[in-house]
Structure 1
Amino acid sequence: GLDNALVQDSVKRVLPGSFDRHRKLVERLDELVAAVGEADLYSTGLAQTLGVSVRTLQTAVQHICGVSLHQHLRSKRMWSVRKLLVKGSPLLTVTAAARANGFWHLSDFARCYSRAYGEMPSETLTRARGA
């Protein structure tokens, strides 16, 4: 209901039915991404698993999320890391949380995390532990 209220009427007229198809495809993509954890994600493999072309997948993500497929995937994984860090489990490390979500280049991860959330990942973890 809220999706329909937020979509401009002109978009609904120009693209009849595509919003719902794209929204469902992005939901399926998000479920798939959540299930694969640290596995490498490639647009070709994702599209094949979802039964669509790479272009259709890219178009759906752009239409629904307003960002590229790559940006959307990174954002979903970054949010998964943040959820782990906010829990503040005693044995969790930033490296373990990042790697569990497919981030291997840790300085790039830390820079992107800081840009997205306004703090370093270690600060999130420290605050969650109450230190």
Structure 2
Amino acid sequence: MSEPARSIHKKGRKNVIGSFMSAKMQVLVEWESQIERDFMYYLEFDDDVRGYTSQPIRYRYTREDKYKYHFPDFEIFRYSTPKRKFVEIKPLHVTKKTEFIEKTAAIKAQMHTDGFDYSVVTDSQ
């Protein structure tokens, strides 16, 4: 597991942020929404997950002929596959917005081209 590509700062934030002590990895992992915190509990109990990193990379992708950057919420390391898996955590209502759908499609396509898995997990899942 590696250091985050982006740190989570409380200054100027309106949502609740915090740290989670991973029993699986014996390290503190930062979260920036309660949905992310809840997702980490899931990861702790998934026997196929050997570890995970919060805010793992600054990922460059192309959208509307411009370079953009995205910081996935997590990278998940599994025993069952060596393939890199990135996950974005969002409330369900956000995932229904056109802007989010278009952005996610561009990120997912670029990640697929680069040989990575990418998915969005919502609070309803």
| TM band (smaller chain) | under 0.3
Taking structure 1 as the reference length, the TM-score comes to: 0.25
Higher strand residue share: 2
Taking structure 2 as the reference length, the TM-score comes to: 0.26
Q: Which has the larger radius of gyration?
A: 1
